[in-house]
Amino acid sequence: MARRRAVATVLTMAAALTLSVACGTTSENSGQNQQAGGPSEKCEGPDGEYTIGMSQANRAEPYRERMDDDIRAAAEDVPQFTVEFADAQQDNAKQVSDVENFLTRQIDVLIISPNEATPLTSVVAKAYNRGIPVIVLDRKVDGDAYTTWIGADNVEIGRTAGEYVAKTLLPNGGKVGELRGLAGSTPAKERGDGFRQGIEGSGVEIVASADGDWLRDKGQSQADAMFKANPDIQVVYSHNDPMAEGAYLAAKAAGKEKSMKFIGIDGLPIPSGGLKAVEQGRLSATLIYPTAGKEAVEAAEKILIDCAEVPKEQTLDTQLITADNAATVYNEANS
């Protein structure tokens, strides 16, 4: 009996607590900002010292590792900057904690490449509403509670790839196999949609489409099956370079790598990246998907050192890479 009462008391207390909680909350998620217009209050000019917090979604992809490297390299040229890096390892909840830790450490500017848009929106808004300038890279967050977004247009990149195939590789029409990124991810959808816009009205048609999940080995096995079912495929359009390399290997195993063409996206200026693959002739072309790392540090300089404003959105241009310019662009990126 006494026990029952004890349990009942606890439950009542719990209910009361929950109710009192429900009444006392305030909304923090919206993007009412104190920053719009005028320079950031964090700006102390060239005499200040600033800590940049860089929250990366994951470092397992070469593209994101390169983004961190670009930020590190660009920040080394600015004596007022030190950069702290965090790696969320593809976990939204971890990335929220990473940003909270940055806030505790009182960073002066937040650069974030979100793992996913919606789950990161409220913690980004929290930083922004505390007066910390927020530079969002690659993937966006919802709403407008950030200082600037820098990234590339995946639809535009896909369209450029499609036009290249329609005008240069298959001017008289032909058959294309598509290796898609991870199903359900935004870039996979946009790169696929853009390509279809690019080939519209030409004689080029997509005869097969398979999910390679961004991975080289998955791309290889999918291409293998694709070539068996459709031996007349002339061009493989891959949503990233590693899958295009996988398709090249599959074609090589079937002895037809010479008669086929492969194009990818990303064009990372690293030894294992797409630029080298084009230079060495495995891929016919790749399209650069800029990491925006350098541009992010430039934006931070404008905000903190020049006390200037930056545009809300900066879309970076892509560049078509063929055997003609692959080596030059690689050397420029690593100079």
Binding of other proteins at residue 14 (CB under 8 A)?
Answer: yes
The rounded distance, in Å, linking the Cα atoms of 321 and 161 is 10
**Closer residue to other proteins, CB minimum distance, 103 or 316:** 103
Contact call for residue 89 and other proteins (CB under 8 A): yes
Q: What are phi and psi of 268, to 5 degrees?
A: -70, 135
| Backbone CA torsion sign across 278, 282, 283, 288 | negative
Sign of torsion over alpha carbons 74, 76, 77, 83 = positive
- Indicate whether 97 belongs to the interface with other proteins (CB under 8 A): yes
- Report the C-alpha gap between 252 and 302 in whole angstroms: 49
Subset of residues 226 to 245 that bind other proteins, contact rule: CB under 8 A: none
**Closest approach of Cβ 239 to other proteins, in Å?**
16
Query: In the set 7, 19, 73, 253, which binds other proteins (CB under 8 A)?
Result: 7
Q: CA 307, CA 38: separation in Å to the nearest integer? A: 8
Subset of 174-193 contacting other proteins (CB under 8 A): 183-185
The site that binds other proteins (CB under 8 A) totals a number of residues, namely 46
One-letter amino acid identity for 68? D
Helix axes 154-164 and 186-199, enclosed angle (nearest 10): 40
| Phi–psi pair at 218, nearest 5 degrees | -65, -40
- Quick one: 228 exposed, middle or buried, by C-beta within 10 A (0-12, 13-18, 19+)? exposed
85 part of the interface to other proteins, by CB under 8 A: yes
142 binds other proteins (CB under 8 A): yes
98-137 mask for other proteins (x: CB under 8 A)? Answer: x-xx-xxxx---------xxxx-xx---------------
- Told to check if 334 binds other proteins by CB under 8 A, we report no
Q: Is 29 in the site for other proteins (CB under 8 A)?
A: yes
Task: Give exposure, 87-124, as e/b (b: 16+ Cβ within 10 Å).
Answer: bbeeebebbbebbeebeeeebbbbbbbbbeeebbbbbb
Nearest CB to other proteins, comparing residues 239 and 276:
239
Shortest distance, position 213 Cβ to other proteins, whole Å = 12
Binding part of the chain for other proteins, among 93-101, 226-234, 289-297, 317-325 by CB under 8 A, reads 93-101
Q: Closer to other proteins at the Cβ: 140 or 252?
A: 140
Residue 93 or 308: which CB sits closer to other proteins? 93
Report d(CA 160, CA 190) in Å as an integer: 12
Interacting residues toward other proteins by CB under 8 A: 3, 6-7, 10-11, 14, 17-18, 20-22, 24-29, 84-89, 91-94, 96-98, 100-101, 103-106, 116-119, 121-122, 142, 183-185
